[in-house]
Amino acid sequence: MITSVSAGALTVRGVSVGGVYTALAVPELSLGFDVGMPLRSLAGIDTLLLSHAHADHVGALGAFLGLRALHGRTTPLRVVLPAETAAPLQNALAALSELQRWPLEIAPVPMHGGDRVALRGDLEVRAYKTFHPVPSLAYLLVRKVAKLRPELHGLPGPEIARRRKAGEDINHYEDRPVLAYVTDTLVTIYDHHPELLRCPVLITECTFLDERKSLAAARAGCHIHLDELLERAHLLQSEHIVLMHFSQLYSPREIPGILDRRIPPALRAKVIPFAPAAEGWPG
Ligand SMILES: [Zn+2]
Ligand SMILES: [Zn+2]
């Protein structure tokens, strides 16, 4: 029932159906994205990033924290989330803790659009304000890669070592985008931040795929229609594009065929539908 796809060097594992559940793990980065279902596959992550607090994205947090404890993870889970969401979520967890007489704790990292936070060593997360009826964020994961400062190129090794020892910062740091996660938003996010469309791996919602949902209706619900991504195909430079959060209007089996029919071949080759090879959606 779990879907697992490869997107370059990364694996994306989990479940996602628009309005029902979205919970993904990217094990290579030890990150989870949303928790609409308490997946065992997420138990190993060290940080959870929440796009927003609609129940199909956050509703299983309590069960997931319990599951994580069963796996011996006793430190509070670090949860990156829209800042406005932190207090009500803590209140909800306090109520759940009271109900089950067991503390469900998180270590919240509240973010606003434009904020950056170092997650570990060389990995940073950047938040982008998205467009949805509740506070919501997209995330870009960026690796900071150390490079020798250009003016030091050509110096002998011992001289570089001497300077490093003397406390000089011999490096500058290049940003290398690794993964973008964009869901539950109007497509406008990509007009404000086209750099998200250039991230090597892009996980993006594409809730509606054809005429079964009009563009106007998709926009009224603050979701993305495939027509809108196709309009921006020339900007879509990502090498691996994971489409997810499909509406239940579509059965998982028919989705690859719809994408084959609608997406130009060069772009289609980069698109990975996040759907199980099954007749129906899990659950
Ligand atoms: Zn959703
Ligand atoms: Zn939503």
Band of pLDDT at residue 115, cut at 50, 70 and 90: very high
What CA–CA distance (Å, rounded) separates 201 from 268?
A: 14
What CA–CA distance (Å, rounded) separates 246 from 18?
A: 5
Whether the CB-CB separation of 281 and 17 falls below 8 Å is answered with yes
Q: Nearest ligand to the C-alpha of residue 245?
A: 1
Q: Tens of pLDDT along 33-80?
A: 999 999 998 899 999 999 999 999 999 999 999 999 999 888 999 999
Of the listed ranges 83-87, 171-175, 267-271, the one predicted with least confidence: 171-175
Is residue 213 a part of any domain in this protein? yes
pLDDT value at 9 more than 90: yes
pLDDT value at 280 more than 90: yes
Average pLDDT of the chain, as a whole number:
96
Q: Which residues surround ligand 2, an ion (CB under 5 A)?
A: 54, 184
Is residue 12 a part of any domain in this protein? yes
pLDDT value at 179 more than 90: yes
Q: Please tell me the distance between residue 24's alpha carbon and the centre of ligand 1 in angstroms.
A: 13
Q: Tens of pLDDT along 229-262?
A: 999 999 999 999 999 999 999 999 999 999 999 9
Q: Tens of pLDDT along 126-136?
A: 999 999 999 99
Whole-angstrom CA distances from 280 to 36, 41, 182, 254, 272 are 18, 21, 24, 10, 18
Dihedral in degrees, nearest 10, Cα atoms 120, 74, 127, 208: 130
What CA–CA distance (Å, rounded) separates 29 from 45?
A: 8
Q: Please tell me the distance between residue 164's alpha carbon and the centre of ligand 2 in angstroms.
A: 49
Q: Please tell me the distance between residue 191's alpha carbon and the centre of ligand 1 in angstroms.
A: 21
Q: What is the pLDDT at residue 170?
A: 92
What CA–CA distance (Å, rounded) separates 20 from 193?
A: 27
pLDDT value at 121 more than 90: no
Is residue 23 a part of any domain in this protein? yes
Q: What is the pLDDT at residue 131?
A: 96
Whole-angstrom CA distances from 70 to 40, 57, 95, 101, 240 are 10, 22, 20, 16, 34
Residue 58: phi and psi, rounded to 5, are -130, -10
Q: Tens of pLDDT along 140-166?
A: 999 999 899 988 888 898 999 999 899
pLDDT value at 6 more than 90: yes
Is residue 278 a part of any domain in this protein? no
Q: What percent of the chain has pLDDT over 90?
A: 89
Is residue 279 a part of any domain in this protein? no
Q: Please tell me the distance between residue 132's alpha carbon and the centre of ligand 2 in angstroms.
A: 7
Q: What percent of the chain has pLDDT over 70?
A: 100
What CATH number did the domain enclosing 219 receive? 3.60.15.10
Q: What is the pLDDT at residue 74?
A: 87
Q: Please tell me the distance between residue 155's alpha carbon and the centre of ligand 2 in angstroms.
A: 54
Q: Please tell me the distance between residue 50's alpha carbon and the centre of ligand 2 in angstroms.
A: 11
Q: 90 is in which domain, residue-wise?
A: 3-273
Is residue 283 a part of any domain in this protein? no
Is residue 173 a part of any domain in this protein? yes
Domain count, the chain: 1
